[in-house]
């Protein structure tokens, strides 16, 4: 019998400062080949979280929303960071064209709107971060750090 | 002179120049801008001496395969040098090897029926450049060229 | 001098031949010239470019057999990496194939060149508001090839905000033209959406908060406020901040001439709002030169040595 345990950390009622700190903690825990998937509605704070994470990882450039370009590459202090936004992706095959599989596990990969290609995501070792809006300045964040058999 | 180009390895490009049926020059460059490097090479080349260009259309790393194919398509269309596109699977098949190519990081490209897929595996075959050359030579003799207006890289059918 | 320009930075494939920087000899754009490709092209942008670009190049050369191409100019940044790669690779190969020089072009400078190309006697320096799906910048234009960025967006581009708001109402992509059309029937003063960074001496933009405000407003007022009013008020919030900041920069930098460029420059409301400030000279490109195209690429390339 296999028991599948899902470990999820739930952070209730986070302010912008709390989210910032959460991003900094997440940054500290990274070793350089993680895939981080961000889920949440428009305006939930996926890009905001990514900016804080990127700054904590040592990215000096401005981190902008990659909705339009789909992929932006950055150099962090210790490793490369690949920032994806799958909002405009309609077909998973496009992921080959943007070089997603080329950079996968080669640096820290951050994906906004990862749910657009759930068929690809479900096979990957990854960290899932769900951001939910509670009110204008408050968020609920759930972090799914992995699966244990 | 026949020139063989292979950009299917991630971020690297291989140029093999054959003169009188013998490998005359071999260049491999990694971590390079594919089209800039190809351009540096071909800007110095004497087009009147090039009988045709053979290009590996994949499977392989998407960016570098696409860049090398697009460059050669542009070059062939502009210069009228004939181009022949060959896939890694064609080369393995001629060499009587299983149709499995390295996709990096524990994955391989497989040809199954008429589909081209990616699977998890660490077992794969390598392409023999001499077999690549013999396919090109044969098609050159038969004047079986590809049109630069329709030559495309190999695309994935399934994930 | 005849320059062949190639544009593949996003979804549209463009080729164009322009003489001496201003005279359009011929042009092809995939969003318009469907018949040449036979109509059926892949949806995935870089695959589309791979199929369309060689055909378009062949066609434009065929249509202009008596024209000698002196240089090839191709957009190499910014944009969608796989799309740019196809354009750049093909163009380098083609230029070497016909033995002419190749010039690397910047997509944004090409957009900013549109009003200059259509108004050769324009004064320098002038201020240009570049506003598209991927970019929002206020730029000081010293010459066709020399610019200074004065202000930029810190998160979403204005065009992106239009696309995302359009998505909230399921209006399709691109969102700008549809939103604009529906907004014409709405009251833009009904809702006062926030204008971010609305301070003196702040030349930067932020549209992410506006996008979120619209989303919340829709959630809370779905039944009592019309779609037309929400979209009109949203559009005005964007137009208002774009115009006022640009005017502020022009005044602070003592420039009397203002141009706009990029996809959102086609927006009627934006053009109208600028004209209210009548102490400036305005140059707006024609609609076709606001969206991505190879004409301005081929034109701008002339100005490089």
> What is the structure's pLDDT at C300?
98
Residue B159 lies in a domain: no
Sheet holding B115-120, edge to edge: B100-104, B107-112, B115-120
> What is the structure's pLDDT at A148?
41
Range(s) of the domain holding residue C202: 123-284
User: Smallest CA–CA separation between B142 and chain C, in Å?
Assistant: 24
Residue B88 lies in a domain: yes
Contacts of A42 in chain C (CB under 8 A): 164, 167-168, 211-212, 215
pLDDT at A147 over 80: no
Going by pLDDT thresholds of 50, 70 and 90, the confidence category of residue A64 is confident
- To the nearest whole number, what is the mean pLDDT of chain C? 94
Tell me whether A9 touches chain C (CB under 8 Å). no
> What is the structure's pLDDT at C118?
98
**A67 to C215: CB separation less than 8 angstroms, yes or no:** no
Q: What is the mean pLDDT of residues C210-227?
A: 89
> What is the structure's pLDDT at C14?
97
> What is the structure's pLDDT at B67?
95
> What is the structure's pLDDT at B53?
98
Could you tell me which chains touch chain B, where touching means 3 or more CB pairs under 8 A?
Answer: A, C
Residue C74 makes CB contacts below 8 A (sequence gap 6+) with C5, C6, C7, C8, C87, C88, C91, C92, C102, C103, C104, C105, C297
Residue C117 lies in a domain: no
Nearest to A69 among C79, C167, C208 (CB): C79
Nearest to A99 among B63, B103, B105 (CB): B63
Going by pLDDT thresholds of 50, 70 and 90, the confidence category of residue A1 is low
Residue A101 makes CB contacts below 8 A (sequence gap 6+) with A95, B62, B103, B107, B118
Domain check: are C161 and C222 in the same one?
Answer: yes
Domain check: are C244 and C107 in the same one?
Answer: no
Q: Which residue of B has its CA nearest to A105?
A: B105
Share of chain A above pLDDT 90, in %: 45
- Strand pairing class (B52-56; B83-86): parallel
Whether the bond into B59 is cis, omega within 30 of 0: yes
Phi and psi dihedrals of C5, rounded to 5?
A: -105, 145
**B63 to A102: CB separation less than 8 angstroms, yes or no:** yes
- Are C292 and C7 in contact by the 8 Å Cβ rule? The answer is yes
- Are A81 and A107 in contact by the 8 Å Cβ rule? The answer is yes
User: Smallest CA–CA separation between B86 and chain C, in Å?
Assistant: 17
Residue B152 lies in a domain: no
Tell me whether C192 touches chain B (CB under 8 Å). no
> What is the structure's pLDDT at A149?
34
Going by pLDDT thresholds of 50, 70 and 90, the confidence category of residue C40 is low
Going by pLDDT thresholds of 50, 70 and 90, the confidence category of residue C81 is confident
Residue B70 lies in a domain: yes
Substitution target in C49, C89, C91, C94 with the highest count of B β-carbons within 10 Å is C89
Helix B62-79 to helix B34-43 angle, to the nearest 10 degrees? 30
Residues B97-154 have pLDDT tens digits of: 999 998 877 888 898 887 878 888 888 999 999 999 999 999 999 999 999 999 999 9
Range(s) of the domain holding residue A46: 5-148
Residues C151-175 have pLDDT tens digits of: 999 888 999 999 999 989 989 878 8
Residue B123 lies in a domain: yes
Tokens, residue A133: 């809006």
User: Smallest CA–CA separation between C277 and chain A, in Å?
Assistant: 31
CATH of the domain at B62: 3.30.420.40
Residue B43 makes CB contacts below 8 A (sequence gap 6+) with C96
User: Smallest CA–CA separation between C44 and chain A, in Å?
Assistant: 6
Q: What is the mean pLDDT of residues B30-49?
A: 96
Residues C279-298 have pLDDT tens digits of: 999 999 999 999 999 999 99
Domain check: are C61 and C155 in the same one?
Answer: no
Share of chain C above pLDDT 90, in %: 81
Most confident of A139-148, C101-110, C215-224: C101-110
Domain check: are C130 and C259 in the same one?
Answer: yes
Tell me whether B155 touches chain A (CB under 8 Å). yes
Domain check: are C254 and C129 in the same one?
Answer: yes
Domain check: are C261 and C129 in the same one?
Answer: yes
Specify the higher pLDDT residue, B118 or C274: C274
How many interchain CB pairs under 8 A, A with C? 58
Residue B101 lies in a domain: yes
pTM, two decimal places: 0.91
Instruction: Give a three-class secondary structure readout of B83-105.
Output: EEEECHHHHHHHCCCCCEEEEEC
CATH of the domain at C163: 3.30.420.40
Could you give the number of structural domains in chain C?
2
Least confident of A48-62, A131-145, B55-69, C102-116: A131-145
> What is the structure's pLDDT at B152?
94
Domain check: are C18 and C101 in the same one?
Answer: yes
Range(s) of the domain holding residue B121: 2-141
Domain check: are C278 and C145 in the same one?
Answer: yes
d(CA C232, CA C181): 9
Tell me whether B58 touches chain C (CB under 8 Å). no
Helix (H, G, I), strand (E, B) or coil at B74: helix
Domain check: are C150 and C88 in the same one?
Answer: no
Domain check: are C147 and C277 in the same one?
Answer: yes
Least confident of A43-52, B52-61, C34-43, C90-99: C34-43
> What is the structure's pLDDT at B120?
81
The tokens 């010239």 sit on which residue?
A: C33
Specify the higher pLDDT residue, C254 or A92: C254
Domain check: are C160 and C178 in the same one?
Answer: yes
Stretch 3-42 of chain C: residues touching chain B, C-beta under 8 Å: none
> What is the structure's pLDDT at A97?
84
Could you give the number of structural domains in chain A?
1
Residue C118 lies in a domain: no
Phi and psi dihedrals of A63, rounded to 5?
A: -95, 110
Residue B92 lies in a domain: yes
Phi and psi dihedrals of C162, rounded to 5?
A: -60, -45
> What is the structure's pLDDT at B158?
58
Q: What is the mean pLDDT of residues A125-141?
A: 89
Residue B155 lies in a domain: no
Nearest to B77 among C51, C57, C85 (CB): C57
User: Smallest CA–CA separation between B153 and chain C, in Å?
Assistant: 9
> What is the structure's pLDDT at C133?
86
ipTM: 0.96
pLDDT at A6 over 80: no
Substitution target in A92, A97, A138 with the highest count of C β-carbons within 10 Å is A97
Domain check: are C294 and C277 in the same one?
Answer: no
């Amino acid at each position: 019998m296999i028991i599948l345990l899902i470990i999820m950390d739930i952070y209730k009622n986070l302010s912008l400062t709390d989210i910032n700190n959460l991003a900094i903690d997440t940054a500290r825990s990274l070793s350089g080949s993680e895939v981080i998937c961000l889920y949440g509605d428009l305006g939930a704070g996926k890009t905001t979280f990514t900016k804080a994470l990127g700054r904590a990882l040592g990215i000096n450039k401005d981190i902008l929303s990659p909705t339009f370009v789909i992929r932006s590459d950055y150099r962090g202090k210790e490793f490369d960071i690949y920032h994806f936004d799958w909002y405009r992706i309609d077909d998973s095959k496009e992921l080959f064209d943007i070089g997603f599989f080329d950079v996968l596990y080669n640096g820290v990969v951050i994906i906004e709107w990862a749910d657009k290609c759930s068929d690809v995501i479900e096979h990957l070792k990854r960290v899932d971060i769900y951001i939910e809006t509670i009110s204008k300045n408050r968020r609920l964040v759930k972090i799914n750090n992995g699966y244990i058999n | 002179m026949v020139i063989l180009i292979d950009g299917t390895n991630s971020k690297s490009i291989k140029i093999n120049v054959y003169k009188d049926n013998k490998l005359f020059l071999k260049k491999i460059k990694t971590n390079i801008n594919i089209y800039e490097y190809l351009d540096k090479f071909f800007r110095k080349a004497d087009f009147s001496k090039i009988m045709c260009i053979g290009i590996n259309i994949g499977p392989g790393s998407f960016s570098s395969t696409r860049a090398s194919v697009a460059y050669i398509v542009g070059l062939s269309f502009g210069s009228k040098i004939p181009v022949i596109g060959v896939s890694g699977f064609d080369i393995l098949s001629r060499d009587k090897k299983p149709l499995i190519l390295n996709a990096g990081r524990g994955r391989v490209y497989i040809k199954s029926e008429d589909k081209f897929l990616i699977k998890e595996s660490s077992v794969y075959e390598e392409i023999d450049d001499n077999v690549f050359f013999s396919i090109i030579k044969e098609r050159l003799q038969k004047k079986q060229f590809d049109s630069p207006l329709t030559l495309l890289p190999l695309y994935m059918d399934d994930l | 001098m005849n320059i062949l320009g190639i544009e593949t930075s996003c979804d549209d494939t463009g080729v164009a031949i322009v003489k001496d920087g201003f005279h359009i000899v011929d042009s092809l754009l995939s969003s318009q010239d469907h018949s040449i490709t036979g109509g059926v092209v892949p949806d995935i942008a870089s695959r589309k470019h791979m199929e369309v670009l060689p055909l378009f190049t062949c066609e434009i050369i065929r249509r202009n057999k008596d024209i000698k191409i002196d240089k090839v100019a191709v957009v190499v940044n910014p944009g969608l990496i796989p799309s740019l790669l196809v354009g750049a690779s093909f163009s380098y190969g083609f230029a070497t194939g016909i033995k002419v020089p190749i010039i690397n072009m910047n997509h944004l400078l090409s957009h900013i060149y549109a009003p200059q190309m259509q108004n050769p006697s324009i004064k320098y320096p002038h201020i240009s508001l570049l506003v598209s799906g991927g970019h929002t910048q206020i730029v000081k234009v010293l010459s066709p090839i020399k610019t200074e960025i004065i202000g930029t967006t810190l998160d979403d581009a204005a065009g992106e905000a239009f696309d995302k708001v359009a998505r909230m109402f399921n209006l399709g992509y691109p969102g700008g033209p549809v939103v604009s059309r529906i907004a014409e029937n709405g009251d833009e003063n009904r809702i006062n959406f926030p204008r971010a960074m609305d301070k003196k001496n702040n030349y930067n933009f932020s549209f992410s908060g506006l996008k979120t405000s619209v989303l919340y407003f829709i959630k809370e007022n779905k039944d009592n406020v019309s779609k037309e009013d929400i979209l009109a008020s949203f559009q005005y919030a964007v137009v208002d901040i774009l115009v006022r900041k640009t005017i502020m920069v022009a005044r602070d930098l003592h420039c009397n001439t203002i141009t706009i460029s990029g996809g959102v420059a086609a927006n009627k409301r934006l053009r109208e709002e600028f004209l209210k400030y009548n102490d400036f000279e305005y140059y707006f490109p024609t609609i076709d030169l606001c969206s991505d195209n190879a004409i301005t690429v081929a034109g701008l390339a002339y100005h490089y040595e």
